[in-house]
């Protein structure tokens, strides 16, 4: 008996929907791109309850005929291609003909569409791939889609959806990626009857500034390079505007948003030695390339593409960004003798004729200095104590004087149990120490991260996180995406020690921060916290508090380049071995390696 048969269309469409429609933001992306392909110049997006209840788009594009308004809901029905060779000449966003069929399979759909030359438009209603109504209707030119009750017939997928703020954040991401490369088109977005974006036609820099909530475009450096293979245009941020958040990085190929780690590496390389390793520059780059030289048909979301010559593209992008940065850093010579030039320290330009002469600095050397003498060590200890008094020692309890670290008489029992006999620092942030007749090699940043993580988790669980109130509250302006993220985790942020409140559109006011954090860097601290949270939110099975504790610990942990004195090293290690899990970081990677006599002997065999 034959057992292979064709699946019914409604089941096939539900299977296809699993790849095309992952969440409400996927629907938004497909509908906005369809509006662009239809030639619209004004596109409106209306969302309710994070897109779960309603997603509605209105455009003034070309519209559809009566026949097309019914045919567009069939699988593999498209107006973009007709033969296989058209795949190598693609300029449109859609071409597979799967999006609308997939959406109709898992939602209640209503569409009104009308061409300019028609007197009446067409109304089509679909529920679970079944057309329930098709009739003439009076409507404006263009197309209006209303997608209601997403995943109503797929309970598992509906339960998979996150909270409303999370889904709204993803919708904002997709809206930004579609609107950014089309500054000549008007876009607007509203959520729960509240305006989120209202973008008028304008220049590319104005559109980018609006979408990224920048007050002006003076922080942008223009990139404009043309080559036979590739045209690179767009903007990059000045090095001093780099943030600890990665959100303001966009790469487009033929106006299609893509994710490409290889090209991101090229751009970051162009900023080499201009920004810190934990900072991320802003960039919005538009790459124009012949469609035959790329393949966009490798992923359902079309965010990944393949180039026929990746190395050449890498080099061209890197050189284009480096040229823009080079023109910015090539500063003109300042005439200090000009009274109109601000000169706070009274520099004067040499008056010698011809070449400017410079004098070699005089270096004074104390040849009697002996670093191993007791006097020198006392001076060093005094300087170390002065430094700790000024800036605080993150490794020692405030109630414990530093002299207790070297005196057995005053060390509590808990510290005696974790006593470190001796320690010294290697380059690149590693510590060698002796403990219980063993040699241990410690990653100092990982050790501090483990200490801070357990401390923050305990504060959150006890809901008694110490708050350091600011004398002058600071306001911080965020992008729409980060603003939505901050609202999503506002309660958890308060539990960990942040006193943060809403301060208007896209703005937060910081009244207090967790105690023992660096003073004067509240803005950078909050930005870094949001960035780390984005990348580690899924590591604790949805436990936002632990993810937030890890984010803050990673953001506040000391750098591997930090040089520490003997007392600091021992204090850090004793606090590490007082932790519940001292041997591993929260992500499972090791903090230290033990080398006992047996292991050392084995290395020499």
For the cut 80, the answer to whether the pLDDT of residue 58 exceeds it is yes
Q: Tens digits of per-residue pLDDT, 22-49?
A: 899 999 999 999 999 999 999 999 999 9
For the cut 80, the answer to whether the pLDDT of residue 150 exceeds it is yes
Q: Report d(CA 58, CA 306) in Å as an integer.
A: 33
Position 411 scores a pLDDT of 42
Q: Tens digits of per-residue pLDDT, 282-314?
A: 899 999 999 888 887 666 666 788 888 899 999
Q: How far is CA 50 from CA 153, 168, 169, 196, 273, in A?
A: 18, 5, 8, 13, 41
**Mean pLDDT confidence for 166-179:** 92
82-86, 408-412, 550-554 — which is least confidently predicted? 408-412
DSSP 390-428: HH--TTS-TTS-GGGGG-TTT--HHHHHT---EEEEETT
Burial of 92 (0-12, 13-18, 19+ CB in 10 A): middle
Domain topology for 397-605: Ribosomal Protein S8; Chain: A, domain 1 (3.30.1370)
Paired residues of 221 in beta bridges: 236
Q: How far is CA 2 from CA 6, 7, 33, in A?
A: 12, 14, 43
Q: Report d(CA 323, CA 535) in Å as an integer.
A: 31
Please count the other Cβ atoms lying within 10 Å of the Cβ belonging to residue 587. 11
Q: Model confidence at 412, in pLDDT bands (50, 70, 90)?
A: very low
CATH class (in words) of the domain with range 206-329: alpha beta
pTM assigned to the model: 0.68
E strands in 271-380: 283-288, 294-295, 306-307
**Mean pLDDT confidence for 400-426:** 53
* Structure-token match 């949001």, residue found: 530
Q: Model confidence at 144, in pLDDT bands (50, 70, 90)?
A: very high
Contacts of 598 by beta carbon, 8 Å cutoff, 6+ apart: none
* Strand order from edge to edge, sheet including 438-443: 422-426, 430-435, 438-443, 592-595
**Stronger pLDDT, 539 or 262, i.e. the higher one:** 262
| Highest mean pLDDT of the ranges 6-10, 81-85, 402-406, 495-499 | 495-499
Position 6 scores a pLDDT of 75
**Stronger pLDDT, 392 or 167, i.e. the higher one:** 167
Position 185 scores a pLDDT of 96
Position 98 scores a pLDDT of 80
Q: Report d(CA 199, CA 213) in Å as an integer.
A: 12
Position 200 scores a pLDDT of 95
Q: Tens digits of per-residue pLDDT, 425-479?
A: 887 788 888 877 778 889 998 999 899 888 888 887 877 778 888 888 888 888 7
For the cut 80, the answer to whether the pLDDT of residue 169 exceeds it is yes
**Stronger pLDDT, 68 or 93, i.e. the higher one:** 68
Position 317 scores a pLDDT of 95
Position 10 scores a pLDDT of 66
Which residue, among 158, 168, 166, has the nearest Cα to 191 in the 3D structure?
A: 168
Position 275 scores a pLDDT of 87
Position 387 scores a pLDDT of 40
User: Would you give the end-to-end CA distance of the chain in angstroms?
Assistant: 68
Q: Report d(CA 54, CA 24) in Å as an integer.
A: 9
388-392, 501-505, 539-543, 596-600 — which is least confidently predicted? 388-392
Position 401 scores a pLDDT of 38
Q: Report d(CA 187, CA 383) in Å as an integer.
A: 60
| 8-state DSSP, 516 | T
Position 340 scores a pLDDT of 47
Position 550 scores a pLDDT of 83
* CATH of the domain spanning 9-202, picked from 3.40.50.410, 3.40.47.10, 3.30.565.10, 1.10.10.10: 3.30.565.10
Q: How far is CA 218 from CA 123, 235, 281, 285, 481, in A?
A: 47, 11, 15, 17, 22
Q: Report d(CA 227, CA 442) in Å as an integer.
A: 50
Decide: 322 and 270 in contact? Cβ < 8 Å.
yes
Q: Tens digits of per-residue pLDDT, 351-405?
A: 444 444 445 555 555 555 555 554 544 544 544 444 444 334 444 444 333 333 3
Task: Give residue 70's Cα distance to chain centre.
Answer: 41
Torsion angle, CA of 132/134/137/142, rounded to 10 degrees?
100
Position 345 scores a pLDDT of 41
**Mean pLDDT confidence for 133-152:** 94
**Mean pLDDT confidence for 580-590:** 85
Return the ∠ at Cα 265 (arms to 88 and 297), rounded to 5°: 20
Q: Model confidence at 225, in pLDDT bands (50, 70, 90)?
A: very high
Tell me what the pLDDT averaged over the chain comes to.
79
For the cut 90, the answer to whether the pLDDT of residue 214 exceeds it is no
50-54, 141-145, 293-297 — which is least confidently predicted? 293-297
Instruction: Spell out the domain ranges in the chain.
Output: 9-202, 206-329, 397-605
Paired residues of 133 in beta bridges: 125
Position 477 scores a pLDDT of 82
Q: Report d(CA 432, CA 420) in Å as an integer.
A: 11
């Amino acid at each position: 008996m034959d057992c292979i048969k064709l699946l019914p269309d409604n089941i096939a469409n539900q299977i296809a929907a699993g790849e095309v429609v992952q969440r409400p933001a996927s629907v938004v992306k497909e509908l906005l791109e369809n509006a662009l392909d239809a030639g619209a110049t004004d596109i409106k997006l209306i969302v309710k309850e994070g897109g779960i209840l309603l997603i509605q788009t209105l455009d003034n594009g070309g519209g559809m005929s009566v026949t097309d308004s019914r045919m567009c809901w069939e699988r593999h029905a498209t107006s973009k291609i007709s033969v296989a060779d058209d795949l190598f000449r693609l300029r449109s966003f859609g071409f597979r003909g799967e999006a609308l069929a997939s959406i109709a399979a898992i939602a209640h759909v209503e569409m009104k569409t009308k061409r300019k030359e028609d007197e009446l438009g067409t109304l089509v209603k679909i529920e679970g791939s079944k057309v329930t109504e098709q009739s003439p209707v009076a409507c404006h030119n263009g197309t209006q889609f209303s997608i209601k009750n997403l995943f109503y017939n797929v309970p598992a997928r509906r339960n998979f959806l996150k909270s409303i703020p999370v889904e709204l954040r993803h919708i904002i991401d997709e809206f930004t990626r579609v609107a950014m490369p089309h500054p000549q088109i008007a876009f607007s977005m509203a959520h729960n009857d509240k305006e989120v974006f209202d973008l008028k036609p304008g220049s590319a820099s104005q559109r980018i500034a609006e979408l990224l909530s920048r007050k002006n475009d003076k922080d942008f450096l223009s990139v404009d390079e043309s080559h036979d293979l590739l045209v690179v245009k767009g903007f990059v941020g000045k090095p001093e505007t780099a943030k600890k958040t990665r959100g303001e990085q966009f790469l487009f190929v033929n106006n299609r948003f893509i994710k490409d780690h290889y090209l991101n590496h090229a751009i970051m390389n162009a900023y080499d030695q201009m920004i810190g390793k934990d900072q991320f520059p802003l960039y919005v780059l538009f790459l124009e390339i012949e469609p035959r030289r790329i393949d966009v048909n490798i992923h359902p979301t079309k965010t990944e593409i393949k180039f026929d010559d990746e190395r050449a593209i890498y080099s061209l992008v890197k050189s284009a960004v480096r040229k823009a940065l080079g023109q910015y850093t090539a500063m003109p010579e300042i005439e200090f003798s000009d009274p109109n030039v601000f000169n706070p320290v009274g520099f004067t330009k040499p008056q010698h004729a011809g070449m400017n002469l410079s004098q070699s600095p005089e270096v004074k050397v104390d040849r009697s200095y002996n670093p191993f003498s007791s006097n020198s060590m006392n001076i060093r200890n005094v300087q170390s104590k002065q430094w700790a008094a000024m800036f605080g020692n993150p490794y020692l309890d405030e109630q414990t004087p530093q002299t207790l670290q070297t005196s057995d008489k005053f060390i509590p029992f808990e510290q005696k149990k974790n006593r470190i006999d001796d320690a010294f620092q290697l380059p690149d942030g590693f510590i060698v120490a002796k403990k219980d007749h063993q040699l241990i090699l410690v990653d100092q940043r990982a050790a501090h991260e483990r200490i801070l993580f357990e401390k923050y988790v305990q504060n959150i669980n006890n809901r008694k996180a110490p708050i350091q109130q600011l004398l002058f509250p600071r306001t911080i302006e965020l992008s729409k995406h980060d603003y939505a993220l901050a609202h999503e985790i506002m309660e958890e942020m308060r539990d960990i020690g942040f006193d943060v409140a809403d301060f208007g559109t896209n703005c937060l006011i910081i009244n207090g921060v967790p105690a023992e954090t660096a003073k004067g860097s509240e803005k950078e601290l909050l930005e870094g916290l949001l960035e780390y949270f984005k990348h580690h939110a899924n590591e604790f099975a949805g436990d936002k508090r632990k993810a937030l504790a890890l984010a803050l610990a990673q953001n506040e942990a000391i750098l591997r380049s930090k040089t520490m004195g003997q007392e600091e090293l021992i204090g850090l290690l004793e606090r590490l071995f007082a932790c519940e899990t001292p041997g591993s970081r929260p992500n499972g990677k090791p903090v230290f390696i033990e080398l006992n006599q047996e292991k050392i002997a084995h290395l020499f065999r």
